[in-house]
Amino acid sequence: MMRVEKITNAEQKKNFQAQQQSLFDLAEREKIVREIVENIKQKGDQALLTYTEKFDQVKLSPQQLRVSEEETEKAYSLVSKDYLEALQIAKKRITAFHRKQLKNSWLDREEDGTILGQLYTALDSSGLYVPGGTAAYPSSVLMNALPAQVAGVQKIVMVSPPSQDGTLNPYVLVAAHQAGVSEIYKIGGAQAVAALAFGTETVPQVDKIVGPGNIYVTLAKKLVYGAVNLDMLAGPSEVLVVADGNANPAYIAADLLSQAEHDVLASPILITTSEKIMEEVQAELIRQLPKLARKEIARQSLAERGIILLVDNLEEAWEMANFYAPEHLEVLVDNAWEHLGKIKHAGAIFLGEYSPEPLGDYLAGPNHVLPTGGTARFFSPLSVDDFVKKSSVLSFSAQGFAKVAKAAITLAEVEGLTAHANSIQVRMEKK
């Protein structure tokens, strides 16, 4: 079911880490995406409609690209009361968590009257990509749109590929309305990313693009970076469970499967100190797998990307977990909180047997848009910070200027920038 290894040397560690997908060596696909991006940039709506017909098998007019109020109202009639209630619970918890991330602008006044500070302002607009296809992801709508709304972004523009009948999933539409999305367009793929980055006659240009997608969407985001800001380049999902001999094997197996069903490239990983747990988890996977709707996807993920690492002690487990820097890290060991300080690199950390990763996916509160592919070593989860920018504020008094002017001139002269030095010198000579 899942292969078992005991990693004992540096070379094996590298092989373990190497199973994480690289997003930067896909030359052929990048060539295709580059052509799409350039066509959207040059031809706007014309190219956008052509690609929508080609890739989504939907023929739309420019007027049909934007979702109407009537379509959103109809979506409400197609979803259940239970779904609306669940959406409200998730919205409330996610909003409350992200409100705690808000920062205040600040000013610091020195004794001589000089004032220095930092000004926080929200982005004017943000684009949100929501995957389509066989699955609906209203949770992704909430996780991407609500932090932007909390931050104060005035225009949130959502794009999602249409079904073959030219509609969007009603659960996604309702989630978008609840999350305060301003405009919704029936476009997907690399062409949708390019439209958000450069604008077309119909689709507005935005300041930042967030949200997950397939490899073509990810490569398009990579190519448009600079013209627009991004959240991150997300890869296949990962869960790494650290378990001792007292962990519940049924819980471990269920949590591994919860990620395996995402994608055949998803990485379900167990690091354990117990051979007994290893054997019992394998048995539980065999028992639980046939019950899943997406069992074939999960089966392939377990077989090709799943791994169980046997380690001698928990210190080795934390070393390997930090080395891998997973998207999701579950800690199923006795006294889980005592080990938190040993974890350096993980997108989200789930402590204890009643904190399964799917709670984080839907409604716990923290964002489920997380760094993958080992990038948790230097990236953080999506947050309110992603939708604000900072400006420095400087106001020197005459007295404060006099204190630092000579030193500034010295530094300018060392760099050979005489106009910089002159800008300061003329103020020193002022009578």
CATH classification at residue 219: 3.40.50.1980
Q: Is residue 386 part of a domain?
A: no
Q: Is the domain of 137 the same as that of 185?
A: yes
User: Residue holding tokens 């890290």?
Assistant: 329
User: Residue holding tokens 């904190």?
Assistant: 355
Structure tokens at 406: 């000579």
Query: In which order are the strands placed within the sheet that holds 183-185?
Result: 183-185, 155-159, 125-129, 208-210, 229-230
- Which structural domain, as residue segments, surrounds residue 89? 27-104+123-230
Q: Which of 189, 212, 230 is the last residue of a domain?
A: 230
Q: Is residue 186 part of a domain?
A: yes
Question: How far are the Cα atoms of 59, 65, 154, 189, 413 from residue 50, in angstroms, in the given order?
Answer: 8, 12, 30, 13, 57
Q: Is the domain of 270 the same as that of 401?
A: no
DSSP state of 157: E
Q: Which residues of the chain have pLDDT under 50?
A: 431
Q: Is the domain of 239 the same as that of 197?
A: no
How would you classify the pairing of strands 125-129 and 208-210?
A: parallel
Q: Is the domain of 153 the same as that of 290?
A: no
How would you classify the pairing of strands 328-332 and 348-351?
A: parallel
d(CA 401, CA 424): 9
Q: Is the domain of 308 the same as that of 295?
A: yes
- What pLDDT score does 96 carry? 98
d(CA 42, CA 211): 24
Q: Is residue 157 part of a domain?
A: yes
Q: Is the domain of 195 the same as that of 314?
A: no
User: Measuring CA to CA, which residue among 255, 300, 303, 308 is closest to residue 279?
Assistant: 308
d(CA 278, CA 249): 8
Q: Is the domain of 265 the same as that of 333?
A: yes
Q: Is residue 69 part of a domain?
A: yes
Do residues 7 and 13 make contact, with C-beta atoms less than 8 angstroms apart?
yes
Backbone angles phi, psi at 259, to 5 degrees: -90, -35
State the helix-helix crossing angle for 418-428 and 398-414, rounded to 10 degrees.
Answer: 150
Q: Is the domain of 96 the same as that of 62?
A: yes
DSSP state of 228: B
Q: Is residue 110 part of a domain?
A: no
pTM over the 0.85 mark: yes
User: Measuring CA to CA, which residue among 47, 224, 41 is closest to residue 129?
Assistant: 224
DSSP state of 401: H
Q: Is residue 371 part of a domain?
A: no
Q: Is the domain of 333 the same as that of 202?
A: no
- What pLDDT score does 20 carry? 66
Do residues 256 and 307 make contact, with C-beta atoms less than 8 angstroms apart?
no
- What pLDDT score does 357 carry? 97
- What pLDDT score does 24 carry? 54
How would you classify the pairing of strands 125-129 and 155-159?
A: parallel
Torsion angle in degrees (nearest 10) through CA of 24, 29, 30, 35: -170
Q: Is residue 372 part of a domain?
A: no
- What pLDDT score does 50 carry? 97
3-state secondary structure of 212: coil
Where in the sequence numbering do the catalytic residues fall? Answer: 327-328
d(CA 318, CA 327): 15
d(CA 307, CA 305): 7
Q: Is residue 385 part of a domain?
A: no
Q: Is the domain of 219 the same as that of 247?
A: no
Tell me which H or E stretch contains 348.
strand 348-351
Domains in the chain, number: 3
Q: Which of 210, 230, 250 is the last residue of a domain?
A: 230
**DSSP letter string, 277-303:** HHHHHHHHHHHHGGG-TTHHHHHHHHH
Backbone angles phi, psi at 66, to 5 degrees: -85, 135
Structure tokens at 53: 């017909």
